[in-house]
Structure 1
Amino acid sequence: MAAKKARILIRGGRVIDPANRLDAEVDVAVAAGRIAGVGESVPGDFRPELEIDARGLIVCPGLVELAAHLREPGHENKATIASETRAAAAGGITTLCCPPTTDPIIDTPAVVELIRQRAERAGHARVVTLGALTQGLAGEHLTEMAALKEAGCRGVSNAQSPILHTAVVRRAFEYAATFDLTVFIHPEEYWLANGGCAHEGAVATRLGLPGIPAAAETAAVARDLALIEHTGVRAHFCRLTHSRSVQMIARAQYDGVPITADAAIPYLYFTELDIADFDSQFHVYPPLRTQRDREGLRAGLARGTLSALCSDHQPHEADAKLNPFPATEPGISGLDTLLPLALRLVEDKLLTLPEIIDRLTAGPARILGLLEQGTGTLTPGAAADITLFDPEASWRIDPTSLFSQGHNTPFMGWEVKGRVMHTLLGGRRVFER
């Protein structure tokens, strides 16, 4: 890994920068860790110390991952900040957002600082955090959100831990609005979910698995939309799984409600039918839904109702997936496969290449409030976080090709296209194939 921030000229690549509506074969200049120029704005007297031949490659802003459970601190048996940020760099991801589900919970500035220091020490990718909405994610007492924002949190969330009292949700939204913080919502009605592990329907009934009805999500979306309108808080809906939820979000956006939403890669490919063999690699939470829901998510992503695509990265040790299906730990390791699986949506003609790159760069950066700071763009003066990938390079997803400490993925064995060749972080090459 090169530590020096050299003067770099990236030559001849197809540069796609959705934030600046750029899609052209131009050069990109990097100096002092920042974008010095793109195309005609490259200084005429620019003298690079290093040239990267990008012919045949796509050059785009570093990818931004909205949901990366890095497991550290507290669960280092599953993964570490060093291992997962290294996997991120290999996957072209330069910025990751860590939910507040560490141990200890991210509910004090001290934990925010701990994660920041460890990420900086590892040096592979930037890590930003979400603070806990309630103390200990217990759903009762609000955190000191102002202190968390001051420490660098990009928003607040109660993750998938329930807040049982709607009055507490209202107060939390009001408090967050006071400090101009985005609330990241995982919509689920606790009593309807009732500890289930599969979508409530014919498949779960046949398998004898406890089901979670679609209404557990849609009821929560409806409640939270009402509270968002009442309090004026800015909100982001995380990992939607149901087509009706996407319709509700689209209507609220049309009405001017300040909300965004995202989808996670597994829900765009798999459905409830994939759990028929009790394969725990398909155990995710919320559960995989119906084929109609999958198509609804895909349509929402294409329309822009869902403005970001993420991996919902949750690495596990092998033992976590060895019990009977309901007793296994949910989640998929996804940093290594985010880019090629997103590119597959281009092959499916669901989105164009610039559109899918937008959902992986400017879209999530905007949600995190980082776009204005230059993250997710190649704007001159912005930090030189750049990904270069070969869209035609084929490879097989197997344990030897994964950098993450977690190998828990139902995509194992898939042949995919799209391979990262170089990743720059602040002008440093943090990955080179």
Structure 2
Amino acid sequence: MKMLIKNGTVYQAGKFTDEDILIENGKIKALGKDLADLTDNIDETVDASGLLVAPGLVDVHVHYREPGFTYKETIKTGSMAAAHGGYTTVCAMPNLDPVPDTPEKLQHMLDLNEKDGAVHVLQYASITKGLKSEERVDYEALKETGAFGFSNDGCGVQTAGTMYLAMKAAAEIDMPIVAHVEDNSLLFGGVMNAGKRAEELGLPGILGISESSQIARDLLLAKETGVHYHVCHVSTVESVELVRLAKQHGINVTCEVAPHHLLLNEEDIPGNDGYYKMNPPLRTKNDQQALINGLLDGTIDVIATDHAPHSVDEKTGDMRNASFGITGSETAFSMLYTRYVRTGVFTLEQLLNWMSINPAEIFKIEKAGEILPGKPADLALFDLNHETTIKESEYLSKGINTPFTGETVHASTAMTLVDGKIAYKRGN
């Protein structure tokens, strides 16, 4: 199977160039302006005039709900949503039923991901058995089975001793600990950020220190063990400052920010609306600005969606009763490009680095993040020239729980290729 992508603007190695891409048997065969000598018997030609051709986006934080919660999402629908958003590699969290905390359960997940994934779906194993216990898993056996990393996302590891021993074991086998940071003793039943807006709405608040205090603990443990410690969805000024300081001291830490924390703050919550309930919650304007600054100065390494679909019933009504979570796969790039690249806050190069190149490099995903001969043809073709509206009817995820429906954006995915095959095409 041969495909030729013509007339596109290709992003590779920090530069934009006008060149064609020849794909053969799922891999990039050649790049150049004149591939005539190599283009006999082309099966399909894609005219990418006016389109950006980028390495497929990489999302190191998604929730696909299968097995156990398929009414919210499945591997198939979640990965189709990822392809719609321009993602070609995603990393799925283990808060499932059953939790992939043994080699047998993990192998089952790997088989499902391979069978139903419209994109490459890498799989986290849990840090502890059942996520909420203090009993550690067999890290080496799970690595050998194919775990991408270890995470208890959705639950903070509450005991320092458990986290220390987990970090020590993960460091010995060169695997990352990817942490949801949250001290349960500081939550006090909160449903949104503790502050003025929560007081106005009469809702219980979540203290920022519930996040930052556990990051402080874990950074010291990471320094002691040498593990690659990755912090999920940082959301506060203090969290960013702690990571910045840790990097200055040579601690092996990376972190991510979610699109919704960049795009919204607590003042954007219109009322007691479950669609604005997420964990961590939308914080203050100052926190939001700290996240932007953290990206720009290199403290924050990647943007990851934390795509968390729920049913309509679970997100409708009072925030006290609604589930935590927001979808993100289908809106992240278009919203961030529109809000921050078009306004000059970020460059397009920076956005692509945070959403593709950096996560591939940090997590050693060798098949992602580059457009080079011999690499898999995992590509995202973006239309940055036409205004569109985000429509609920066009979502491929089962989850519609996002406040970004109806937003006008200036970026959309025209096509996504995974191993040289069309995983998403606009209009299909």
TM-score band by shorter chain is over 0.9
* Contact preservation (8 Å) 1:99, 1:159: yes
The one-character-per-residue Cα deviations of 1:63-109 (angstroms, maximum 9, x if unpaired) are 11121111111101111111111111122111111011011112122
Question: Which consecutive unaligned segments of at least 5 residues does structure 2 have?
Answer: none
Answering whether residue 349 of structure 2 is matched by residue 354 of structure 1, we say: yes
Answering whether residue 403 of structure 2 is matched by residue 400 of structure 1, we say: no
> Match of 1:254?
248
* Contact preservation (8 Å) 2:263, 2:336: no
| 293 and 76 in structure 1: CA distance in 2 versus 1, 3 angstrom threshold | same
Q: Secondary structure at the match of 1:325?
A: coil
| 252 and 41 in structure 1: CA distance in 2 versus 1, 3 angstrom threshold | farther
> Match of 2:120?
126
Answering whether residue 350 of structure 2 is matched by residue 383 of structure 1, we say: no
| 42 and 123 in structure 1: CA distance in 2 versus 1, 3 angstrom threshold | farther
Pairwise CA RMSD of aligned residues?
1.6
Q: Normalization by structure 1: what TM-score?
A: 0.94
* Contact preservation (8 Å) 2:100, 2:109: no
Answering whether residue 7 of structure 2 is matched by residue 12 of structure 1, we say: yes
| 36 and 43 in structure 1: CA distance in 2 versus 1, 3 angstrom threshold | farther
| 41 and 238 in structure 1: CA distance in 2 versus 1, 3 angstrom threshold | farther
Answering whether residue 360 of structure 2 is matched by residue 365 of structure 1, we say: yes
> Match of 2:216?
222
Cα separation, 2, equivalents of 1:180 and 1:409:
36
Letter in 2 for 1:359: W
Offset, 1:46: 3.8
Offset, 1:426: 0.5
The one-character-per-residue Cα deviations of 1:330-372 (angstroms, maximum 9, x if unpaired) are 11111111220121220121211111011111112223320xx
Cα separation, 1, equivalents of 2:362 and 2:104:
24
Letter in 2 for 1:347: R
Which of 299, 302, 306 does residue 312 from structure 1 map onto?
306
Cα separation, 2, equivalents of 1:187 and 1:123:
28
Q: Secondary structure at the match of 1:66?
A: strand
> Match of 2:32?
39
Cα separation, 1, equivalents of 2:105 and 2:403:
32
- Map 1:44-55 to 2 at 5 A: 44-47=37-40, 48-55=42-49
* Contact preservation (8 Å) 1:340, 1:417: yes
Question: Which consecutive unaligned segments of at least 5 residues does structure 1 have?
Answer: 1-5
The one-character-per-residue Cα deviations of 1:299-352 (angstroms, maximum 9, x if unpaired) are 112222212112210111110012421110011111111220121220121211
Letter in 1 for 2:38: D
> Match of 1:82?
76
* Contact preservation (8 Å) 1:89, 1:430: yes
User: Please, which moves more after superposition, 159-168 or 265-274?
Assistant: 159-168
Which of 169, 179, 186 does residue 185 from structure 1 map onto?
179
Letter in 2 for 1:409: T
* Contact preservation (8 Å) 1:139, 1:168: no
| 401 and 255 in structure 1: CA distance in 2 versus 1, 3 angstrom threshold | same
Offset, 1:50: 1.9
The one-character-per-residue Cα deviations of 1:202-258 (angstroms, maximum 9, x if unpaired) are 222232222121111221111111110011111111100002211221221122211
> Match of 1:274?
268
Q: Secondary structure at the match of 1:246?
A: helix
Answering whether residue 328 of structure 2 is matched by residue 334 of structure 1, we say: yes
Q: Secondary structure at the match of 1:135?
A: coil
> Match of 1:245?
239
Q: Secondary structure at the match of 1:24?
A: strand
Letter in 2 for 1:348: T
* Contact preservation (8 Å) 2:153, 2:179: yes
Q: Secondary structure at the match of 1:431?
A: strand
User: Please, which moves more after superposition, 97-106 or 45-54?
Assistant: 45-54
* Contact preservation (8 Å) 2:155, 2:181: no
Q: Secondary structure at the match of 1:131?
A: coil
Letter in 2 for 1:231: T
Q: Secondary structure at the match of 2:174?
A: coil
* Contact preservation (8 Å) 2:384, 2:412: yes
* Contact preservation (8 Å) 1:66, 1:310: yes
* Contact preservation (8 Å) 1:399, 1:407: yes
Cα separation, 1, equivalents of 2:59 and 2:75:
14
Which of 139, 143, 163 does residue 149 from structure 1 map onto?
143
Cα separation, 1, equivalents of 2:324 and 2:273:
11
Letter in 2 for 1:22: K
> Match of 1:414?
407
* Contact preservation (8 Å) 1:320, 1:328: yes
Offset, 1:44: 4.2
Q: Normalization by structure 2: what TM-score?
A: 0.95
Cα separation, 2, equivalents of 1:10 and 1:429:
12
Offset, 1:43: 8.6
- Map 1:291-302 to 2 at 5 A: 291-302=285-296
Q: How many residues align?
A: 424
* Contact preservation (8 Å) 1:100, 1:131: yes
The one-character-per-residue Cα deviations of 1:361-388 (angstroms, maximum 9, x if unpaired) are 1112223320xx2312112211111111
Cα separation, 1, equivalents of 2:370 and 2:36:
19
